[in-house]
Amino acid sequence: MEDDQALRVYEQYLTEYPEPIETALEIRFKVSSAYKDRGSEEAYLDQLQAIVDIDREAGSARTDRTRYLAATSSLVLTRPLYHQFEILELVQPFEDSLAEKKRLMEVALGGFDALVSYEVAEVTAAATYYMAEIYGHFSDALVASERPTGLSEAELSAYELVIEEEAFPFEEQSIAVHQKNLELMRVDVFNEWVQRSIGKLAVLMPGRYAKFEISSGFVGSIDHYAYRSPGAPEFTLPITPDTEITHRSEPPEDQLPALSLAGGDDVDTSY
Amino acid sequence: MLIHLIEKRFDIRRSALVVITSMLLLGCANSETRSHARDTTQTEFDGAYGFTVSETVRITSDVRNDYQRAVLLLETDQLSEGIELLESVVERAPDITIPQIDLGVAYGRLGDTDMAKQNLSKALSLAPNHPVALNEMGILHRRTGNFQSARDHYERALAIHPHYHFALRNLGVLCDLYLEDLECALEQYERYTEIVTDDPDVAIWIADIRNRLVLSGQE
């Protein structure tokens, strides 16, 4: 009830004070979040579209903040283009579904490409990630496409070969665009989307990108941490009557930490 | 007698047993240490291959037992329960380093980077050169995009413990993927494989770096 009242006050404010634009867009962004929280998807998207439109028409009133709000709103509005493209399977008749998939691919690529013009790092990284995924998905979709019936074994082999040849450049394109996303790190941009690109590249090019940090894990002993390099040579002491232990360099065995010195724990860098 | 035998066998160039007291290490400490007058730990080097960082703790058996129970929970992936118990240990023993480190590791696994950093910072204020805290803090800084801070933490760990393979590998990954400093990455990976001789992945990474260096005309 309280939320309803707040929402009404916000909307009243927007009606009476559409300017200054930056303040109005901030409030509209809050309104959109309120609709999202209550599950009013259509009203949520309408508010986001309004933010995009107002920012676009703002002229000299446009600020970095309005651009940011419009860019993040536009990203949400563009994402369905990817999902519409993704869910369409390549089935027989192949030519028809391929033409439709290609059309949706162009629409989605155009939508995400347009987001880059906002010059908002977070949104640029997200848009680049999605564009890379579009190419990657198209490659996968070709490989998984429904095969025509009535082919001989030799014809089917030839068909498979052609499909793989057609799919491969799209996979390469996907890799290249994900790598482009990593270039953002050179200008100190690192966020979820760049990290996701690294995660995807780790699968596509494991030798180059599947490189994860290792944690030593929990220490496991409250008063000491004992470390011995995994490459340390094993040694046994010659036991002679005059051997005496003059120093104990490690704690007693029952106090050793429950810790794997050799392996550690891989830290997955993908989200 | 034991030390002499080890020295002779492995030709350890550095002194066989070096006890570095905390006061000697304060020069390496950064801002995480400044609020405390001294390091609470001491490090004993066991030749070139190992060391023990120890701390004199005065705690009740209840605290000690609760710590062990917390670790058991954490190691069996009961993170929330383990963290809750470990928080109570830290509350009762706030000046002990290792529970703070383990809390940092636990929060890191839970994905709560802020709490992880907070606890590791406390640990590093108590023990500025603790290799586990430095390594874990390096990982957290990398995750949050603070690559130079990550590098600083790994390098601080390696300055004192040059064979600490966790930090060697992690610094290599940082230089390789995030800093694009291939020379640095190659150096760390090569030093790492001298210590971890059976890691086939890193052997591939070295080949990859060499190839990229040739392509870029750096080698």
Domain containing residue B116: CATH number = 1.25.40.10
Task: With a cut of 90, say whether residue A245 has pLDDT above it.
Answer: no
Min distance B164 CA to chain A CA atoms (Å): 7
In angstroms, the CA B107 to CA A16 distance is 47
In angstroms, the CA B105 to CA B132 distance is 9
Q: What is the DSSP letter of A58?
A: -
CATH number of A1-62: 1.25.40
The beta-carbon neighbor of B136 closest among A215, A244, A269 is A215
Domain around B63: 2-163
Q: Considering the domain boundaries, does residue B107 fall inside one?
A: yes
Task: With a cut of 80, say whether residue A240 has pLDDT above it.
Answer: no
Residue % of chain A over a pLDDT of 70: 85
pLDDT tens for each residue of A191-232: 999 999 999 999 999 999 999 999 999 999 999 999 988 877
Residue B75 · residue A258 · CB < 8 Å: yes
A54 CB-side CA count, 13 A: 27
Q: How long is chain A?
A: 271
pLDDT tens for each residue of A146-188: 999 999 999 999 999 999 999 999 999 999 999 999 999 999 9
In angstroms, the CA B182 to CA A197 distance is 20
Q: Which two tokens stand for residue B92?
A: 């009762």
User: How is chain A split into domains, by residue range?
Assistant: 1-62, 79-211, 215-233+253-271
Contact B165 A230 (CB under 8 A): yes
Q: Considering the domain boundaries, does residue B29 fall inside one?
A: yes
pTM score: 0.81
Q: Considering the domain boundaries, does residue B187 fall inside one?
A: no
How many CB atoms within 10 Å of residue B113? 15
What ipTM was predicted for this assembly? 0.81
Residue B174 · residue B154 · CB < 8 Å: yes
How much is the pLDDT for B25?
39
* Residue at token pair 């240990």: B89
Q: Which amino acid is at A190?
A: F
* Element housing B112 (H / E): none
- Whether B142 has its CB under 8 Å from any CB of chain A: the answer is yes
Q: Considering the domain boundaries, does residue B196 fall inside one?
A: no
Instruction: Please measure the distance between the N-terminal and C-terminal CA atoms of chain A and give it in whole angstroms.
Output: 37
Least confident of A8-22, A78-92, B150-164: A8-22
- Whether B206 has its CB under 8 Å from any CB of chain A: the answer is no
The beta-carbon neighbor of A243 closest among B1, B102, B138 is B1
pLDDT tens-place values along chain B, 219 residues long = 333 433 333 333 333 333 333 333 333 444 454 444 467 888 988 877 789 999 988 899 999 999 999 999 999 999 999 999 999 999 999 999 999 999 999 999 999 999 999 999 999 999 999 999 999 999 999 999 999 999 999 999 999 899 999 999 999 999 999 999 999 999 999 999 999 998 999 999 999 999 999 998 865
